[in-house]
Structure 1
């Protein structure tokens, strides 16, 4: 086996001394008895240089089989978390063969373990080398915890032991607990259901047969759509865990041995406290079940559908819950205008058809009074296991989903207005045609005797007061990283907000189906239990060998799956317009070059170097003001704002504002806008995301005009407050007339939707001292910045390298202060002679004393700044400055009508 990857794993890079050497990897492979695998995305066989026609066709035939995907270390259940944040981090089977296959979030290596001693060896290896460790069985996690960029995976799918116990007694206990089953880490629920159907028992589990029985589902709580009402949560039924700790030791956790760890594993989340190699849980009678189903449908805008039809379904569910019968409500949007709602009731341990008939009659009476069309159906089965899916699970094409969830309290659900309140809230809930909203019935045995039960599990105590769990599944069927980023943001900012607003005082969510961008995970998943969970985490895993995103103890780690998404918003490739602008500028009487020409990747690198020079006062003064005034600036920005950074060339300034926003616990989405993709990615990678829980990050790849177009047309952010940042003296680069026009355009495009809460924060320079200005704009780095534009121009006109418009040796940078216009002017001049340009500008001659101007920096005194604001239709809101600084920040808002 050959190992060819060199990448970042955990905290270390491939060239650092702690990175495993080839011999160390080989030794691990030997210890694992040849079960260390080098992993590539499953679709690599459909792309050069690995293309294999038969293997690719076989992949296309199997790719929708959930069971097959669970067995593949290079796959997850959907494409969402296989892909990274950009198209350069994806590998799709259906994309053209010549498109490169990138690793994305697929781990680099996998230990395909089938025994406890192999798990121990893999964990010790990860601990010794501080590798980013991913624990995976089936790859079902809907928030990306089953994968990780540049990681080492332990794949436990081969650990298939199932052992039935007639009367289980935990290790260290004299008490027996009746019939139970022990399952290995790789067992899936379908295999447990199949064994139980044969032997006459069932366990509390979920509906998907390929979900792991002992992993994240169980350790995150384990909810059944109807079984939990009768037999509690899955973690209520756990009797014992076998665990490999972060030190690679095997321990047993139950009520008698390591009880604190046992408590943490019952709801604290998978892949966090240790590697569970075996779980033992109670089994229950596999008795008969009768199901009654009712459905209503109609136009979304039909108020009767909601206030009488869907409210009626919730009233029926409430009534049957009070009689001891669980049920599940499902809401689907069949199109943009049509919805369907259904309710299935489960009468367990009975096959009394007369009782079913009575149930159907009572349901019919409720719905007949609504005057809405409805359908009724019923059936009885001899075993409840027949309801549970055990066979193949075939996924939809281009399968990708995101999830969100919220609990509904018994107080609300059982109140007189509870059903109508839920219906009214769901009427306002935005859903697409392939989205799904469904409930899981809690109450019953989940909440029975809460005084006795509430300390038995580590989930939020609100679970012991909950009637139902509302789950939302958002389909993301267009497999692009742009659609992924858009869907994540809309789920978090719009749909999750709607779910939490159902019952604002009862803000509890289910981590297994939680919002991937959840910014308050500790509070909504664990509440007051979090402090104790964190203490247990520190005891059993002080070095964070196990890392679970949005998990206990994850605050100190960067969240790779939430690395800022870069959204390509370009209306056209701006490079294609630059040559035309160059030709137009150089054939005029006063010659100019377009600003875009100077902001290539190399140009921006040189500019950043220049702007960090000691004499470049604009940056130093901006930093000085931000260090002193960032808190006040943050306080002026509205909660839930979009923060669009349109003018900062680096993160060192804006990070001070972001830190202040985080300190004030403001929910903010920050977007960096830039022309250069590589600079954008570099700046975003420098963000210390581990310290931000309220501020979220994204990026926009495009021009100013592209950014304004996006602000006007992106539906997911249309109604949110906006704060536009124009740091770095960006406005000074425009002529005075164009600056006012640009600000007016921003005001009309970005502020008008929420004018009272939206604003622009702009930095302006009032300095008109020539010596200070010229010293700043001739500082180190500016000459390479200016000359880099010439090489960029040559590459645009002659991409094959077979010609040049400019010979860089002929040119030099010229700086001067224009007192009459109050601006600094930057130009290119010939070194010593007239210069004839190359094709296609061969007829253009630049004289020895002629300048090609490419940039101006206008300075604004107080009168000029006031005129600028008025011309743009803006008014002053606030001003931030510092002693001895010529630069100042101004907050501007729309003038009242």
Structure 2
């Protein structure tokens, strides 16, 4: 069976950074590339293979099995790959494959007719099964000036987990998981008296949630089982219950990493404190390779959920003010402990409205089925009385799940893949949501009434748990905008594979038009780095806010040679993409 995660090939498509000016007087200094004089010899690659016990791979593009001119062409295997291509498992289980085709620049799709080459993929991959394998890869890339890539599942919406002309470290099989009733950080003279789960960085949300549930515990969890732990934590990690327990990064107790200089380091509040701070929210593929992470867990609890929807007929002018009022009540819902994953659809030729799941953990006597129903129905009642007969409402009976996992397992996802996809997002605070005029302008901009098929996801995920979180050591590098956020607003764009004309229109429209409405709604906020537009202007401020200066200082100190480079990542300003190489500016 094919197993999979998301790999993302960044340099070929992201020509958005800065191009080298023709006015520069001397040529750029670039990482070695395949075929160049600086590229390691076959004997040097063979020696690396010996040092990692034969786990150095040189994979062919996964879609090549469908191309008769390719060495790996296989007429029997091709239909199997075609069938698996649109699910994440196939890509996650392949050492170089991308979940979203655009991140390897469509360089070898299994669908015909299409070109096929390995130019969009890493050249070599270390299938890391221990920290020594990771160190061998870092040391080799440093010695030979080879671009270094890190992939676990490849579930990366910004294209940071794949790159051409690179040596990739594949951490997918670092999956050992253990659970303890308390945890003593290494080098500390105290024990943290909470349940803790220690997991290899390649562990996925499905693995973690299953292991925790067997011990009647809950961990801060991403919404899809394919998400890997390491990359999730480095971006901060939002979750359905973050408004109660904080971001996933806030719950980290300790990391084990391999540093840019090849050292095995333990990061916690007692040692390597700066790196401990930076790695919790400072972004992946930047400060080293995480090999394991330890986070706190909570006793399992009942979980309440009700599905709600609001609909209206096409052309109803009340759609925008009604939905603006609805969103203005999100801070109130958040204060009651309620979260929700929501989709708002434009008032187009079919209908306009909202649908979502309202969720409430039973963590106090006040959290009951009645309290959840009453809070949502009060909003529906207000809209109904303000706009009589114009909207239809539905709120299902509240379902009680014995644990969060019981609900999460059949409902996590989506797990689609094999398409062209680019996301954009913004964190929206309570003040912005209370400004109904501004919210109405926002909705009219992102869901214009004359365009069919548009929707925007407005996830009610922020609130008290994130605002009041006290991570170990007092703070972490999670974007400060999260501490004021109530809503994580997400939109996306896509285009037909290999349609460069459509792509050249879709990407700037998302960045410069659609997302500008997001920015205008809460100009002083930011975005969630793990689900964002890599073309975001002023990305340093948008993704890290006031934390960026300290993050950059730490990056310069621990990785002065930029052994780890990705875009848009902390410290990436000193390099740029030139063709399929990265070069110093």
TM-score category, normalised to shorter length: 0.7 to 0.9
Match of 2:461 among 441, 449, 459: 441
Match of 1:328 among 341, 344, 350: 341
Written as runs of structure 1 = structure 2, the 5 A alignment for 1:540-619 is 540-559=558-577
SS in 1 for 2:519: helix
Structure 2 residue 281 is matched with structure 1 residue 267? yes
What is aligned with 1:249?
263
* Structure with higher helix content: 1
Indicate if the aligned counterparts of 2:201 and 2:291 stay in contact, CA closer than 8 A. Answer: yes
- Per the TM alignment, residue 197 of structure 1 is displaced from its structure 2 partner at its CA by 2.0
SS in 2 for 1:140: coil
- Per the TM alignment, residue 40 of structure 1 is displaced from its structure 2 partner at its CA by 2.2
Structure 2 residue 444 is matched with structure 1 residue 427? yes
- Per the TM alignment, residue 92 of structure 1 is displaced from its structure 2 partner at its CA by 1.5
- Per the TM alignment, residue 320 of structure 1 is displaced from its structure 2 partner at its CA by 2.0
Output the CA distance in 1 between the equivalents of 2:139 and 2:410: 35
- Per the TM alignment, residue 449 of structure 1 is displaced from its structure 2 partner at its CA by 6.8
What is aligned with 2:550?
532
- Per the TM alignment, residue 360 of structure 1 is displaced from its structure 2 partner at its CA by 5.3
Match of 2:494 among 445, 453, 475: 475
Report the RMSD for the aligned CA atoms in angstroms.
Answer: 2.8
Indicate if the aligned counterparts of 2:85 and 2:418 stay in contact, CA closer than 8 A. Answer: no
What is aligned with 1:404?
424
What is aligned with 1:207?
223
What is aligned with 2:23?
none
Q: Unpaired runs of 5+ in structure 1?
A: 1-6, 85-89, 564-684, 692-897
What is aligned with 1:169?
184
- Report which stretch shifted further, 361-370 or 239-248: 361-370
Written as runs of structure 1 = structure 2, the 5 A alignment for 1:103-122 is 103-122=118-137
Output the CA distance in 2 between the equivalents of 1:213 and 1:31: 27
Indicate if the aligned counterparts of 1:188 and 1:212 stay in contact, CA closer than 8 A. Answer: yes
- In structure 2, the CA distance between the partners of 1:211 and 1:479, relative to structure 1 (3 Å rule), is farther
TM-score relative to the length of structure 2: 0.86
Deviation string for 1:111-169 (max 9, x for gaps)?
11111111111111111111111110111211111111222111111111111121011
What is aligned with 2:116?
101
What is aligned with 1:491?
510
- Per the TM alignment, residue 73 of structure 1 is displaced from its structure 2 partner at its CA by 1.6
- Per the TM alignment, residue 472 of structure 1 is displaced from its structure 2 partner at its CA by 1.6
Match of 2:301 among 287, 296, 318: 287
- In structure 2, the CA distance between the partners of 1:299 and 1:495, relative to structure 1 (3 Å rule), is farther
Output the CA distance in 2 between the equivalents of 1:556 and 1:23: 32
Match of 1:514 among 528, 532, 537: 532
Output the CA distance in 1 between the equivalents of 2:372 and 2:74: 56
- In structure 2, the CA distance between the partners of 1:449 and 1:383, relative to structure 1 (3 Å rule), is closer
SS in 1 for 2:57: strand
- In structure 2, the CA distance between the partners of 1:361 and 1:518, relative to structure 1 (3 Å rule), is closer
TM-score relative to the length of structure 1: 0.57
What is aligned with 2:51?
31
Output the CA distance in 2 between the equivalents of 1:299 and 1:548: 46
- In structure 2, the CA distance between the partners of 1:32 and 1:689, relative to structure 1 (3 Å rule), is closer
Output the CA distance in 1 between the equivalents of 2:296 and 2:561: 34
Indicate if the aligned counterparts of 1:9 and 1:131 stay in contact, CA closer than 8 A. Answer: no
Deviation string for 1:395-417 (max 9, x for gaps)?
5475232111111123333x4xx
Match of 1:150 among 156, 162, 165: 165
Written as runs of structure 1 = structure 2, the 5 A alignment for 1:757-772 is none
What is aligned with 1:181?
197
What is aligned with 1:609?
none
Output the CA distance in 2 between the equivalents of 1:27 and 1:9: 26
Indicate if the aligned counterparts of 1:106 and 1:147 stay in contact, CA closer than 8 A. Answer: yes
Match of 1:463 among 479, 482, 503: 482
Indicate if the aligned counterparts of 2:311 and 2:354 stay in contact, CA closer than 8 A. Answer: yes
- Per the TM alignment, residue 363 of structure 1 is displaced from its structure 2 partner at its CA by 4.2
Higher alpha-carbon Rg: 1
Match of 1:500 among 519, 538, 559: 519
- Structure with greater contact order relative to length (CA < 8 Å, sep ≥ 6): 2
Written as runs of structure 1 = structure 2, the 5 A alignment for 1:68-83 is 68-83=90-105
Structure 2 residue 416 is matched with structure 1 residue 386? no
Written as runs of structure 1 = structure 2, the 5 A alignment for 1:673-822 is none
Indicate if the aligned counterparts of 1:405 and 1:472 stay in contact, CA closer than 8 A. Answer: yes
Indicate if the aligned counterparts of 1:334 and 1:434 stay in contact, CA closer than 8 A. Answer: no
Output the CA distance in 1 between the equivalents of 2:413 and 2:461: 23
- Per the TM alignment, residue 289 of structure 1 is displaced from its structure 2 partner at its CA by 1.1
